[in-house]
């Protein structure tokens, strides 16, 4: 048989003197039970416990009994005897009492959830509680937005790898792992995979490395609600290095080089129909390269069923590619028109000046009372400033791209230095990393091979 739970709580001597003593509450609640024929009942008494939280012995025992479906009613003298937190009160009623068909009664507020009026009052309390939660959330969001706009870290949550959070200053501070983060970018450009880098740094998964490489916080910015704000923290990597890694990640995404067991997998293209080419075992002599247009089992890869491409020995194509690579030389000096850090800074300052000019013009346009002629002249001035800003931003974007290309060239210079001396000692993976860093595509057309080198190398297409 289920029983009623009479919950009584007193936390201070003052409450006892004000008529909230345990005896007074028991007497009033027991009389109510008798008048309403609510029997049997049991007292749950917390003497000397605050109502600020639910960590009270009798409260916890009562909740356990409710969850075992042993309680039919919960009675309190006043709502604040149950809890002084509206959130906790609604949690008990909505998440504990209601799911177990427990009627809640509060004498002082005349609340009885077993009646329509009691349920209405509960709904009103819930609505006000929800309104308060949303107001708190909105105030928190607005405060966070303003904090981030001023360049401070939003606080809380997970701190990015390579940084510590200085609570006093409210900013991120590079820690001992910052150098490791920078090295991750350099290692990736040298050809190491995310898993290789994870193994080198003691991280558990390759996706952790990818997340770190993609994290724009490392540039000194803060990302919040899909927008970027200049942060007050010190960047770990410069934009040129970050952009170079981003381009390399995009280039590698569809190559799948670490699953390959052949040197040119992912680079081969048929010069007749444009389909990919694959390695196919060809007797005891080795492998031939076959156009996918001749593989009927994979119709989605076929470009031309009548493609005239004949199978060619893979070792012949590989030797031609390696021979060309050994003789390949990068331009050792960056062209005069390429970017320099100082040029980039000048363009950034130019963009800032134009933006400040536009802000002043907008303010003048909004505040000034001018004639029609003056109004038209002001609008033309604003339009000219807009075009000036657009042009400055385009030049800045071009300079950043050139800087990234320059960095890519320097990385490749290091990789190709004395390549022929160490080639035979390299693993297949290391050889593929070199080729994928240099080449976009190897086109085979009969006995002719066309190599398309990456854009930042000297010349982007060679035939051999």
CA distance linking residue 32 with residue 229, whole number of Å: 62
Q: Which residues on neighbouring strands pair with residue 163, listed in sequence order?
A: 174
- Cβ atoms of 270 and 445 within 8 Å: the answer is yes
Catalytic residue among 11, 314, 406, 437: 11
Q: Judge whether 72 counts as a catalytic residue.
A: no
Task: Show which residues are catalytic.
Answer: 11
């Amino acid at each position: 048989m289920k029983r009623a739970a009479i919950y009584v709580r007193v936390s201070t001597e003052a409450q006892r003197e004000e008529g909230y003593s345990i005896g007074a509450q028991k007497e009033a609640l027991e009389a109510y039970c008798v008048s309403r024929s609510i029997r049997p009942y049991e007292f749950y008494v917390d003497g000397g416990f605050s109502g600020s939280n639910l960590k009270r012995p009798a409260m916890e025992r009562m909740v356990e009994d409710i969850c075992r479906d042993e309680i039919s009613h919960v009675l309190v003298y006043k709502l604040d005897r149950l809890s002084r937190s509206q959130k906790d009160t609604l949690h008990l009623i909505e998440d504990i009492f209601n799911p177990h068909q427990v009627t809640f009664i509060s004498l002082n507020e005349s609340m009885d959830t077993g009646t329509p009026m009691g349920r209405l009052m509960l709904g009103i309390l819930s609505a006000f509680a929800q309104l308060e939660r949303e107001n708190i959330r909105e105030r928190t969001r607005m405060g966070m937005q303003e904090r981030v706009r001023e360049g401070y870290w939003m606080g809380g949550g997970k701190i990015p790898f390579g940084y510590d959070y200085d609570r006093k200053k409210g900013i991120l501070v590079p820690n001992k792992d910052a150098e490791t983060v920078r090295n991750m970018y350099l290692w990736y450009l040298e050809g190491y995979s995310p898993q290789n880098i994870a193994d080198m740094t003691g991280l558990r998964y390759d996706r952790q490395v990818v997340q770190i490489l993609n994290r724009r916080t490392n540039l000194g910015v803060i990302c919040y609600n899909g927008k970027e704000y200049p942060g007050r923290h010190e960047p770990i990597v410069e934009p040129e290095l970050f952009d170079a890694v981003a381009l390399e990640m995009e280039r590698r995404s569809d190559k799948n080089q670490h699953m390959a067991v052949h040197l040119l997998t992912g680079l081969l293209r048929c010069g007749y129909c444009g389909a990919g080419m694959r390695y196919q075992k060809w007797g005891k002599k080795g492998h031939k390269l076959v156009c996918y247009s001749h593989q009927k089992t994979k119709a989605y890869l076929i470009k031309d069923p009548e493609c005239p491409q004949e199978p060619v020995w893979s070792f012949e194509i590989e030797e031609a590619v390696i021979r060309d690579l050994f003789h390949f030389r990068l331009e050792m000096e960056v062209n005069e028109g390429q970017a320099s850090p100082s040029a980039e800074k000048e363009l950034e300052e130019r963009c800032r000046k134009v933006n400040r000019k536009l802000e002043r013009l907008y303010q003048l346009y909004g505040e000034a009372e001018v004639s029609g002629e003056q109004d038209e002249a002001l609008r033309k001035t604003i339009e000219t400033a807009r075009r000036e800003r657009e042009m400055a931003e385009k030049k800045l974007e071009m300079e950043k791209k050139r800087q990234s290309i320059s960095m890519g060239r320097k990385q490749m210079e290091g990789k190709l230095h004395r390549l022929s001396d160490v080639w035979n000692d390299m693993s297949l993976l290391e050889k593929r990393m070199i080729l994928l860093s240099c080449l976009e595509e190897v086109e085979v057309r009969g006995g002719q091979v066309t190599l398309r080198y990456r854009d930042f190398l000297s010349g982007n297409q060679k035939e051999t």
